[in-house]
Amino acid sequence: MAAEAEVAADDDGGASAAYFDSYASIKIHEQMLKDVERTECYRAAIEGNPSLFAGKVVLDVGCGTGVLSMFAARAGAARVIGVDASDIVRTARKIVAANGLEHVVTLVQGRVEDLVALPHGIERVDVIVSEWMGYFLVFESMLDSVLFARDRWLREDGAGVMLPSSARLYAAAVEDGEGKDAHVGFWHRVYGFDCSALVPDARREPVTYFVAPEQLATDAALVLELDLLTVRRGETLRGFGRAGLGGSDGGGGGGGGGDDDDVAAAAAAAAAAAGGEEGGHDWVLRATRHDCVHALAFFFDCGFGPAVVPPSAAWSSSLPSYSAAAAAAGEELVLRTGPAAPATHWMQSVFYLEREITVGPGDELRGKLSCAVNGMDSRALDISVELRIARAAAAGSGGGAAAAGHEEEEQKGCGGSDGGDGDGGGGGAEFTVAADATVIRSHFCFRSELRH
């Protein structure tokens, strides 16, 4: 069946070869399919909307094992084209045949960008479905492939459908002294050896795990919002803003042992190449209690529109976040990955700050985040975060009471054994409370190896 599609040779110099090869592993697909919230959400979006699929042509970008393609076939699609650059396609064809759907589903191996023509003489599709989201929503840069498919193959009369149709990335500040000790402070003393030279690199690499709701020290803020029908390819990262990519105060940089200034400069160069400008998308995190902030946690949600057909009893038990009552009320079907949402394989992405911050109720962390594709690895991201701390002043106190409260917190110490990048210090170092308008800049690199 793949011979029916024309696929051009991959001319990117093999930069994505390792990425696609990794998706030939059955373990990755097992992890995704065992993510019940993820998979049932897609099933509800597809099989719960038969009017969108009946008699329609569907393109599944990054089809993997073909499960979403088969959902579309079961929803009544006349033709489903699944595209994946990984060798998993060979096995997926057998799965499609084993389920008697080969007359509907055609799977093509190759990058969607390299497709010269779709099989069966198809020129346009009615629906594009894809599970493109990575950690931090945009990690691994698969979204650009989906948008390429949209621009090239989705019908042009305005009636085309994208699933998911929207995506939003959120940030919240978290208390995580224990996690920072485990991932960053660990390197101060390893089997009796001083390995603190690795502390800066350890802090610059985000980690993914489940953040408990009680770790949240602030509310959450929207830092990126994407409309999948209108966002332009190559501009998805511009929604973060570009300020801060070129600046460095000696804080952390990217991965691979590079100097902070080098990584910040590389991110700035990537932003400039993409046409980025100074400015940026600002957001505010408001502290809800007295606590010590060690990190920012990022999580996302994706909207699929309402399901036309209410979930069955089986769906209601396996997808409790979207009930039959919610469907009947026309509520949007949303896949959520936040700390309070049902667990997913994305977990939350945790970025340890260069310095801890002591906060009290009403304090604001005014943030700016810049993101660019890493110059050495097209699947990696260079990320800079700038936080400006604005202290809440107690009514009638001129700020004195609030400052005193923070001084009291300071005397208790701010957990985490990092003590600042590269200082070689031990654990339990006291944190100096930042004054009004203090700026903390931290740089990170989300590298391809971190996906596992």
Q: Cite the active site residues.
A: 131, 140
Q: What element of type H or E holds 88? A: helix 88-98
- Rounded to 5°, angle at Cα 437 from 436 and 440: 115
The b-or-e profile of 60-71 (16+ CB within 10 A means b, else e) is: bbbbbbbbbbbb
Quote the DSSP letter at residue 280: -
Q: Backbone phi, then psi, for 209, in 5-degree steps?
A: -165, 180
| Contact by Cβ (8 Å): 330, 299 | no
- CA 34 – CA 36 distance, rounded (Å): 6
| Contact by Cβ (8 Å): 163, 62 | no
The burial of 157, by beta-carbon neighbours within 10 Å (0-12 exposed, 13-18 middle, 19 or more buried), is given as exposed
| Contact by Cβ (8 Å): 420, 355 | yes
DSSP string, 144-161: HHHHHHHHHHB-SSS--E
- Which residues fall within 8 angstroms of residue 382, CB to CB, at 6 or more apart? 245, 254, 263, 264, 266, 267, 270, 371, 372, 373, 374, 375, 443, 444, 445
Instruction: Name the residue among 420, 168, 386, 430 with its Cα closest to residue 296.
Output: 386
Measure Cα distances from 126 to 116, 131, 156, 299 in Å: 18, 17, 9, 30
- Of the CA atoms within 13 Å of residue 77, those in its CB half-sphere come to 32
Assigned token pair, 240 = 């973060």
Residue 254's SS3 state is coil
Measure Cα distances from 381 to 21, 42, 134, 270, 378 in Å: 20, 27, 12, 10, 8
